[in-house]
Chain A
């Protein structure tokens, strides 16, 4: 199966408290931040690798492509996915200011038209923008079936369809999608038995979480290709459809607590003190 995994770099989620808003509130400054692959995208890479391998035999069953949009440094993020085992990278040169969910979805559609993957597997959302929109928009633009928040994926009918377990508020919703399709993954996808591809024995237990880039993988990643494209070369409409008028940090928490005895008391305080209702 040929799988395309879009990956985005985000500021290190563990150092989120270093994010600063510029004085005029127009932008968020990214100076001095460390970049990490978006965790959900990392899980998508892991899921793609699991779908495309016979784990005990260490055999590859298909091609895993990773792509990203951003400045040249994003190659580092792609290189990490290649070190985990992905086969080829595609970097679309673009600045953050040029991108919003619609433009990204259009760019990905152009890539899909070019590369013709059987499956686009992606994180359900990034942990910086949190829009949770690109996967859905892309599926709509392609006219492909879509399954979001996947926690389990198994292949059937000789790789023509997927059964996807989706995590929803009330439980697990099981969907069957015909390929080609767009699937976005949740964090549970990297549980030991999240992926069944018919080749890796069903009782094979993976480690929890995304795999480590082994030293051998890191050395091999140097030799793998990263194709360079420009946003303007994709032949897409590059007009953004959303804008951020102002940023502000959430108010600092005081750490003070107010104790209440009764529900009425609570409602009263919420009304008069917190002005929340």
Chain B
């Protein structure tokens, strides 16, 4: 320790961070992704027996979080000490585990072996599940959810989506689920191997609008009959259960809980251009018969579909902010290092101004997303804010992805640099609906 906390021994700092020892020791080396086939085989074996959900305890009434109240509607940009610690954890995980695994996960369309175990060490689902059901959450955590999504997507968007999709389902169950549904599904999320689940909204057709879904549910005796098709569903092939949006004839859009192995439901891997590590898939419902308790919520507590779509859009925005920030940081370093005509290419205004614009846009995307999340957290109307954030993040996200590739020139086009993956991921997240929610 020195008289001043930071002595001038910069060389030692650099020596530590760049120490060949760190590399030689293999310290912090992430689990290696294994071949695609091995992962698939492993999943098949694991999925042979469908997960059984059973209520461990009986809930008298559903658990709901009280509204977070603030003295005013003023937008507070300071994160709490607790949120900062969660961010530190998420950022470290993104840096040490997610980013190094991203290339192989993108190629294999699956998270690497051991990823789930590493992820469960963080216990992210604790954020969603209330204390009575084994979690630690005492209030809705929309803002914290945005911060985590952003930080994980900084590592890789696909893996972040895979990590957070199940927590989205848990969030929906806490917000709208009936007492029975909460008691049946929520405790499993705090176990060592949480269930795989995600929110299925997107349908495979042009100009898809969540308010006009073709997936239909009809009342059939004391249950429902579900027919239709969903696409871009994270973790589809291995999902233990899905939260499926469908239009209930005569009533409007509703969410249905569909467990794996329900007769008539077919889960197929269907990799797309981007977010491939999230194991995107297609789900076909061919007259799937569902019990009456499969509809999310009960009585007056029926799910607010508009709010669900908005919360999901905020989550997708947070993912694109994280990846756009990754593009910004990467291009700054690259353009300062890359020499052309005897000087770094960042000395060219065409390059420097483009990076400056990315910086401005990322920050705008972030602020709109945080704003929407903050209002959602406080129980204020946030439809408009979520919509504005969505439009900006989709449009600018794709532009930033493109510019990231352009700034790297020829290097942007090849797979040696991550910008081409970010370009694809930013595009994927811009056309998706659902997948996860906060």
- Comparing B88-96, B284-292, B354-362, B392-400, the segment that makes contact with chain A is B88-96
Give the contacts of B5-56 with A (CB-CB under 8 A).
Answer: 5-14, 16-17, 21-22, 25-29
Q: A190-B27, A213-B89 are in contact. Are A129 and B5 (CB under 8 A)?
A: yes
CA gap between A14 and B329 in the complex, in Å: 14
Q: Find out whether the CB atom of A97 lies under 8 angstroms from the CB atom of B3.
A: yes
Q: Which of B13, B28, B96, B123 is A127 in contact with, Cβ under 8 Å? A: B13
Q: Find out whether the CB atom of A128 lies under 8 angstroms from the CB atom of B85.
A: no
CA gap between A104 and B363 in the complex, in Å: 42
CA gap between A209 and B7 in the complex, in Å: 26
Q: Find out whether the CB atom of B6 lies under 8 angstroms from the CB atom of A28.
A: yes
Check B132 for interface membership: any CB of A closer than 8 A: no
Check B350 for interface membership: any CB of A closer than 8 A: no
CA gap between A40 and B190 in the complex, in Å: 32
Chain B proximity mask over A2-22: 1 for CB below 8 Å, otherwise 0: 000000111101101101010
Q: Find out whether the CB atom of B28 lies under 8 angstroms from the CB atom of A209.
A: yes
Q: Find out whether the CB atom of A30 lies under 8 angstroms from the CB atom of B6.
A: yes
With both beta carbons as reference points, the residue of chain A lying nearest to B131 in the complex is identified as: A219
With both beta carbons as reference points, the residue of chain A lying nearest to B125 in the complex is identified as: A215
| Residues of B with C-beta under 8 A to A130 | 7, 9, 12
Q: Find out whether the CB atom of A188 lies under 8 angstroms from the CB atom of B121.
A: no
Q: Find out whether the CB atom of B10 lies under 8 angstroms from the CB atom of A250.
A: yes
CA gap between A134 and B1 in the complex, in Å: 7
Q: Find out whether the CB atom of A96 lies under 8 angstroms from the CB atom of B5.
A: yes
CB distance from A254 to the nearest CB of B (A): 14
Chain B proximity mask over A31-61: 1 for CB below 8 Å, otherwise 0: 0010000010000000000000000000000
Check A228 for interface membership: any CB of B closer than 8 A: no
> Which of A83, A101, A215, A244: most chain B Cβ within 10 A?
A215
Q: A80-B85, A190-B27 are in contact. Are A129 and B13 (CB under 8 A)?
A: no
Check B349 for interface membership: any CB of A closer than 8 A: no
Q: Find out whether the CB atom of A218 lies under 8 angstroms from the CB atom of B3.
A: no
Give the contacts of B161-214 with A (CB-CB under 8 A).
Answer: none
| Residues of B with C-beta under 8 A to A9 | 5
CB distance from A5 to the nearest CB of B (A): 15
Q: A28-B8, A96-B5, A128-B5 are in contact. Are A209 and B27 (CB under 8 A)?
A: yes
CA gap between A167 and B85 in the complex, in Å: 33
CA gap between A8 and B7 in the complex, in Å: 14
Q: Which of A104, A129, A211, A218 is B7 in contact with, Cβ under 8 Å? A: A129
Q: Find out whether the CB atom of A79 lies under 8 angstroms from the CB atom of B126.
A: no
Q: Which of A10, A16, A209, A244 is B14 in contact with, Cβ under 8 Å? A: A16
Q: Which of A10, A13, A191, A212 is B122 in contact with, Cβ under 8 Å? A: A212
With both beta carbons as reference points, the residue of chain B lying nearest to A8 in the complex is identified as: B1
> Which of B28, B84, B88, B92: most chain A Cβ within 10 A?
B88
Q: A76-B81, A214-B121, A216-B136 are in contact. Are A208 and B12 (CB under 8 A)?
A: no
Q: Find out whether the CB atom of A96 lies under 8 angstroms from the CB atom of B82.
A: no
With both beta carbons as reference points, the residue of chain A lying nearest to B93 in the complex is identified as: A212
CA gap between A33 and B9 in the complex, in Å: 16
Q: A209-B27, A214-B123 are in contact. Are A97 and B4 (CB under 8 A)?
A: yes
Chain B proximity mask over A109-153: 1 for CB below 8 Å, otherwise 0: 000000000000000001111110110000000000000000000
CB distance from A183 to the nearest CB of B (A): 18
Q: Find out whether the CB atom of B4 lies under 8 angstroms from the CB atom of A216.
A: no
Q: Chain B interface secondary structure, helix, strand, loop or mixed?
A: helix
Q: Which of A16, A70, A244 is B13 in contact with, Cβ under 8 Å? A: A16
Interface range on chain B (Cβ under 8 Å from partner): 35 or more
CA gap between A17 and B6 in the complex, in Å: 12
Chain A proximity mask over B104-147: 1 for CB below 8 Å, otherwise 0: 00000000000000100111101100000000100000000000
Q: Find out whether the CB atom of A19 lies under 8 angstroms from the CB atom of B6.
A: yes
Q: Find out whether the CB atom of B8 lies under 8 angstroms from the CB atom of A219.
A: no
Q: A19-B10, A214-B121 are in contact. Are A191 and B25 (CB under 8 A)?
A: yes
Q: Find out whether the CB atom of B9 lies under 8 angstroms from the CB atom of A213.
A: no
Q: Find out whether the CB atom of A76 lies under 8 angstroms from the CB atom of B84.
A: yes
Give the contacts of A179-204 with B (CB-CB under 8 A).
Answer: 187-188, 190-191
Check A100 for interface membership: any CB of B closer than 8 A: yes
With both beta carbons as reference points, the residue of chain A lying nearest to B118 in the complex is identified as: A207
Check A156 for interface membership: any CB of B closer than 8 A: no
CB distance from B118 to the nearest CB of A (A): 8
Check A232 for interface membership: any CB of B closer than 8 A: no
| Residues of A with C-beta under 8 A to B2 | 100-101, 128-129, 131, 242, 244
With both beta carbons as reference points, the residue of chain A lying nearest to B148 in the complex is identified as: A215
CB distance from A35 to the nearest CB of B (A): 9
Check A237 for interface membership: any CB of B closer than 8 A: no
CB distance from A132 to the nearest CB of B (A): 10
CA gap between A249 and B11 in the complex, in Å: 10
| Residues of A with C-beta under 8 A to B28 | 208-209
Cβ-closest 4 pairs across A and B: A129-B2, A16-B13, A215-B126, A219-B136
Q: Can you name 9 extra interface pairs (CB under 8 A) apart from A96-B3, A212-B89?
A: A100-B3, A129-B7, A209-B96, A215-B86, A216-B136, A244-B2, A244-B4, A247-B8, A250-B10
27 A–B contacts, CB within 8 A, in A order: A13-B16, A14-B17, A16-B13, A19-B6, A19-B10, A28-B8, A76-B85, A80-B85, A99-B1, A100-B1, A104-B1, A128-B7, A129-B7, A130-B12, A209-B96, A215-B122, A215-B123, A215-B126, A216-B126, A218-B85, A219-B136, A221-B85, A222-B82, A247-B4, A247-B8, A250-B8, A250-B11
